[in-house]
Amino acid sequence: MTLLAPDAPAARLRPFRVKVCGLTDPDSVALAVELGASFLGFVLYPPSPRFVPPERLGELLERVPTGVRTVGVTVDPTDAFLEHLLAHAPLDVLQLHGTETPERVRAVALRTGCRVMKAIRVGEAADLEGLEAFFEAADLLLFDARPPRDAAWPGGHGLPFDWRLLEGFTAPLPWALAGGLDAGNLAAAVESLRPPIVDVSSGVERGPGIKDPEKLRVFMAEARRLGARRAEEPD
């Protein structure tokens, strides 16, 4: 299973793509699109400060042009919730950020018809054991830092994990690197792991759930710079 490459403004950011996650308002959505994000992420988990109700999300999706992929971030969603969500918001990708098994990932894909991104919470090498079981179940993988023990939500804490745990990692499906990325450490992440997709949320915020336009511009400018440099590298 593969994800079709976007064909509109974000193509200029290749050879890696950017997912801007935790978007909550029309202006941030419009700016992320303008700056060339390939994926727009929306959190559908009520405890998160970035939570967007499905009804509100439907309105935001109306502003997303063809070719930019929309991602709904969920945590162990029930079938009933997914049905309600997709009735209001026709998303391209469902991100499963909970404790979903490969069997549940496969079932969600079959039930909804959406592509599925499975988030893997990484804190130590043991967290990557059994990863291959998701290769046939998911369309994409996302590696994020394991949240603090007392965290009320599983992602978006601005914490990186030890990237050395993924050194040399390859997979037969696209994957994204998340966890504490910002304009200051993006180059190190891209150069050390060469991820197909990078995912930014808190690194372009002035506060939880509030995107900072200038931080977003700086991050996307750095992504373009790094993308252009990678495109010039010999195969």
Cα–Cα separations (whole angstroms), residue 45 to 18, 27, 34, 75, 177: 22, 21, 26, 6, 20
Domains in the chain, number: 1
Domain of residue 174, CATH code: 3.20.20.70
Instruction: Say how far apart CA 73 and CA 5 lie, in whole Å.
Output: 20
3 in a domain, yes or no?
no
Distance (Å, rounded) from C-alpha 90 to C-alpha 75? 18
180 within domain boundaries: yes
User: Is the per-residue pLDDT at 233 higher than 80?
Assistant: no
Measuring CA to CA, which residue among 216, 158, 161 is closest to residue 40?
Answer: 216
Is residue 144 annotated as a catalytic residue, yes or no? yes
Summarised one tens digit per residue, pLDDT across range 110-151 is 999 999 999 999 989 999 999 999 999 999 999 998 865 664
In this prediction, residue 235 carries a pLDDT of 54
In this predicted structure, the answer to whether residue 11 has a pLDDT above a threshold of 50 is no
Active-site position among 139, 144, 182, 199: 144
Residue 7 lies inside a defined structural domain of this protein: no
Q: Which residue has the higher pLDDT, 110 or 15?
A: 110
Q: Looking at the domain assignment, is residue 235 inside a domain? A: no
CA separation for the pair 193, 163 (Å, rounded): 8
Q: Is the pLDDT of residue 61 over 50?
A: yes
Residue 6 lies in a domain: no
Residue 2 lies in a domain: no
Task: Considering the candidates 21, 92, 139, 182, report the single residue annotated as catalytic.
Answer: 21
The answer to whether residue 234 sits within a structural domain is: no
3-state secondary structure of 23: coil
Question: Which of 157, 204, 173, 151 lies closest to 19, judged by CA?
Answer: 204
Q: What residues contact 211, with CB distance under 8 A and at least 6 apart?
A: 20, 22, 23, 24, 25, 28, 31, 32, 204, 205
Q: Which domain holds residue 91?
A: 13-229
Residue 1 lies in a domain: no
114 in catalytic set: no
CA dihedral sign, ordered 74, 80, 86, 91: positive
